[in-house]
Amino acid sequence: MPSRHAADPVSRARSIHDKRPFNRAIFFTLIHYLCIVAFLTCGVLLFVHPSPTTMVKPLIASGIALAVTWLISFFRRRSARCPLCKGSPLLDTGAVKHSKASRLRPFNCGTTAVLGILFLNRFRCMYCGTPFDLQKRSAVERRRGQANQ
């Protein structure tokens, strides 16, 4: 069987025409992760130093912030759609995953895609298995750049 080289359209990463839904989803998910850290920190501090007058209010405030940011990040991750299959690759559902879907073991496929975008600006759609690169310019952007030069 012949091996694939980097220019093969099946194996190379595709660009995304509109990156804004993905950027918004990652931003609100990052805020949600920071609220998780704040809530856990307040919980540990309340457990270690049980002074209810000083630590209960921050724990309640971080719990409310956690719930609100989860709701916002849920809808933002749901609105980010794969350009090819129209699935929601940042939100894990009960649908069957593609055989090429990547997953970091303690997390599900949606969280793995979020972390991939956050740290690498790349992800693989869990439903169609297509790799995407958020830094790669789309063909429309490349044509506009060539026309301006």
pLDDT in tens, 79-116: 888 888 888 888 887 777 777 777 778 888 888 888 88
95 found inside a domain: yes
- Torsion angle of C-alpha atoms 31, 98, 82, 85, degrees rounded to 10: -160
* Inside any domain, residue 6: no
CA distances from 79 to 20, 50, 118, 137 (A): 10, 42, 17, 21
Region 45-49 average pLDDT: 84
- Overall average pLDDT of the 124-145 stretch: 78
Give the range of the structural domain holding residue 53, as residue numbers without chain letter: 20-148
Give the HSE-up count for residue 44: Cα atoms under 13 Å, Cβ half-sphere. Answer: 6
Q: How confident is the model at residue 36 (pLDDT cuts 50, 70, 90)?
A: very high
The structural domain count of the chain equals 1
Is residue 54 one of the residues assigned to a domain?
Answer: yes
Residue 90 lies in a domain: yes
In a domain, 13, yes or no: no
- Taking 3-state DSSP, the helix, strand and coil percentages for the chain, each rounded to the nearest 5, stand at 55, 5, 40
Terminal Cα-to-Cα distance of the chain (whole angstroms): 43
